[in-house]
């Protein structure tokens, strides 16, 4: 498995409605922060989460977080 591509050095802060979402873990998706299937052949798989109530979420943009898919501030050290 190769290292994830850094999509951006800041989180993707989005307002989500209830439903399932697939966060891009490889950094190659053209639909950041969501998976578009670009991980095929990389060894990466998306992280699927289910949101039960509307809320604001900070998805990791650097793909280096220790708490996927959420931003933990790791981007500040890149």
| Intra-chain end-to-end CA distance of the chain, in Å | 20
Residue 65 confidence class, pLDDT cut points 50, 70, 90: very high
State the Cα–Cα distance between residues 50 and 23, nearest whole angstrom.
11
* pLDDT, tens digit (0-9, with 9 covering 90-100), for 29-57: 999 999 999 999 999 999 999 999 999 99
* pLDDT, tens digit (0-9, with 9 covering 90-100), for 1-25: 578 999 999 999 999 999 999 999 9
State the Cα–Cα distance between residues 2 and 54, nearest whole angstrom.
34
């Amino acid at each position: 498995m190769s290292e994830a591509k850094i999509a951006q050095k800041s989180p993707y802060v989005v307002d989500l409605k209830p439903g399932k979402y697939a966060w891009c873990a490889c950094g190659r998706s053209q639909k950041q922060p969501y998976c578009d299937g670009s991980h095929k052949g990389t060894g990466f798989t998306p992280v699927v989460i289910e949101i039960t109530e509307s809320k604001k979420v900070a998805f990791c943009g650097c793909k280096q977080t220790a708490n996927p898919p959420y931003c933990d501030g790791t981007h500040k050290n890149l």
